[in-house]
Amino acid sequence: MTDAPSRVRSLVAGNWKMNGLEASLNAAAAVRDALPGLGANAPGVMICPPATLLTALAAVAAGSALTVGAQDCHPAPSGAHTGDISAEMVKDAGASAVIVGHSERRADHGELDRIVREKAAAAHRAGLTAIVCIGETKGERLAGLTLDVVRRQLRASIPSASTAANLVVAYEPVWAIGTGLTPKPADVAEVHETIRKSLIGHLGEAARGVRILYGGSVKPDNARELLALPDVNGALVGGASLKADDFLAIIAAAA
């Protein structure tokens, strides 16, 4: 295993995907209100709602430990890009981070590593943390290509100017997202170790402070085991983040 990094505060981020209306802010408020009771070892907590709720959620989270992220951004700061939002707009809406390169964006919108890198650079330009997602498909895993895939995606998707302050990496095996399936803990640990080594090779020793999240059917009943693994510095949570009780249980497991 790699040497353990100096104490890195873990992060549990909820990705609401294309879910959530104004009434969903009640769940976010419940999470916000529960955070002070989790103690000094509580992880950082973030919710990434659809763009329609960014400003409203930022108002809910104001003055609390809850932070707000977006689910995507365009590489350009402005322009003729109907339907897109820029990193600057995300920042202006009250977010502090943005997810880029999620497998659903890569698959549904044909986003290549180059585009993901451009979006991550845009996030940095706007003063946001880029949460860069990487992960293999089922076919790639069955072919024994998992480690090759994550190394390639990492190398090609992360701007060279990334730092521990503006970069989070999320490993999400594509075949595990929303399926209820998760890799064996030893497999997760192997991939996260590979990611850490690749980050250090790409960014230098400071990369020991970059948080590496695990995502892919993270639930209250498996969170503690997954979050205790070496180089797992938190979780990117999908469906379970829509329910305050489930999300809080995962947050508590990271404390």
Element (H, E) at 42: none
Task: Give the tokens for residue 73.
Answer: 């951004």
Instruction: State both tokens at 222.
Output: 């498996």
The answer to whether the beta carbons of residues 235 and 226 sit under 8 Å apart is: yes
Q: How confident is the model at residue 3 (pLDDT cuts 50, 70, 90)?
A: very low
Q: Is the pLDDT of residue 6 over 70?
A: no
Give pLDDT tens digits for 138-186.
999 999 999 999 999 999 999 999 999 999 999 999 988 878 887 899 9
Residue 230 has pLDDT above 70, yes or no: yes
Q: Which of the residues are catalytic?
A: 102, 172
pTM (two decimals): 0.95
Q: For residue 199, what are the CA distances in angstroms to 17, 25, 152? A: 27, 36, 11
- Which fold would CATH assign to domain 71-242? TIM Barrel (3.20.20)
Identify residue 235 by its one-letter amino acid code: A
Give the start-to-end residue ranges of the domains of the chain.
71-242
- Residue 2: pLDDT band with limits 50, 70, 90: very low
Long-range contacts of 239-244 (CB under 8 A, 24+ apart): 239/178, 240/14, 241/13, 241/14, 241/15, 241/16, 241/47, 242/14, 242/16, 242/19, 242/20, 242/24, 242/27, 243/27, 244/27, 244/28, 244/30, 244/31, 244/34
Tell me the per-residue pLDDT of 201-228, one tens digit each, with 9 for 90 and over: 999 999 999 999 999 889 999 999 999 9
Q: Which pair of structure tokens corresponds to residue 168?
A: 């989070």
Q: What pLDDT shows up at residue 28?
A: 98
Tokens of 74: 């365009």
Distance between CA atoms of residues 192 and 252, nearest Å: 21
What is the predicted pLDDT for the residue at 178? Answer: 79
The yes-or-no verdict on residue 1 having pLDDT over 60 is no
Mean pLDDT for the chain overall: 95
The count of other CB atoms within 10 Å of the CB of residue 26 is: 10
CB atoms within 10 A of CB 83: 5
CA distance 66 to 92: 17
**Taking residues 97-122, what's their average pLDDT?**
97
Mean pLDDT, residues 93-98 taken together: 98
